């Protein structure tokens, strides 16, 4: 199995974090043989396309704090964030996923890697009724911005300092333009160090237009 390749992208981690990530990859490959965690065509690119793409959050910002990850699926970026948070006990992440088989995988991933987080088998629309507003909300390959804003709006109302961290691909500008028709927000675009046509959007001060 390929070892941690982050150095070539400027992504370095502690030895303990590297071992946790490698443990996660080993577990992921076992589980992906029986349940569809990511598109099968991308399994061979697991490290670069999924692990490192999630890991680069650490280069963008200080990730310390309380997180919610929406539609956690195969654990990107949620499990990777949980592993990073475990390095120095820097916070906690709540993983929201409605698919029960994927929830079983996510729980096992947290247990085997020592990631700091919990799994919530609920629909995203219902999660705001039980989970308090965090410092950050992340999502990757889940929905267009306009719909994501609908999902997170209850938390944004509770916490005006909430930051949204969304991984987006090449068509993100059209999503931003569409969302501005209904929402006001501050936006910082972080160029991906892994994929040249991808970005991480850092969004703050989200309010719905009347």
- 21 in a domain, yes or no? yes
**Whole domain around residue 167: which residue ranges?**
6-208
How many Å apart are CA 166 and CA 137, to the nearest integer?
A: 8
User: pLDDT, tens digit, for every residue of 9-34?
Assistant: 888 899 999 999 999 999 999 998 88
How many Å apart are CA 85 and CA 67, to the nearest integer?
A: 10
How many Å apart are CA 71 and CA 138, to the nearest integer?
A: 9
- 1 in a domain, yes or no? no
CATH number at residue 156: 3.40.50.150
* Mean pLDDT for all residues in the chain: 94
- 67 in a domain, yes or no? yes
Omega before residue 140 within 30° of 0, cis = no
The pTM (predicted TM-score) of the whole model is 0.94
Q: From 109, 132, 201, 206, select the one nearest 162 (Cα to Cα).
A: 206
- 42 pLDDT band, cuts 50/70/90, is confident
Tell me the mean pLDDT in the region 93-121: 98
pLDDT value of residue 59: 87
Number of domains, the chain: 1
């Amino acid at each position: 199995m390929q070892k941690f390749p982050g150095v070539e992208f400027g992504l370095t981690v502690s030895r303990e974090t590297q071992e946790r990530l490698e443990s996660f990859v080993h577990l992921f490959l076992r589980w992906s043989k029986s349940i569809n965690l990511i598109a099968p065509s991308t399994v061979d690119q697991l490290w670069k396309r999924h692990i490192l793409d999630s890991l680069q959050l650490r280069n963008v910002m200080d990730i310390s704090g309380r997180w919610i990850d929406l539609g956690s699926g195969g654990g990107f970026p949620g499990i990777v964030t949980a592993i990073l948070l475990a390095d120095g006990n820097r916070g906690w992440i709540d993983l929201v996923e409605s698919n029960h088989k994927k929830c079983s995988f996510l729980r096992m991933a947290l247990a085997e890697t020592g990631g700091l987080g919990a799994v919530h088998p609920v629909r995203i629309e219902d999660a705001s009724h039980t989970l308090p507003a965090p410092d950050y909300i992340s999502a990757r390959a889940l929905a267009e911005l306009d719909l994501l804003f609908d999902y997170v709006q209850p938390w944004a109302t509770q916490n005006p300092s909430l930051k949204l961290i969304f991984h987006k691909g090449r068509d993100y500008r059209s999503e931003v333009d569409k969302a501005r028709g209904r929402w006001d927000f501050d936006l910082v675009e972080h160029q991906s160090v892994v994929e040249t046509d991808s970005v991480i959007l850092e969004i703050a001060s989200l309010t719905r237009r009347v």
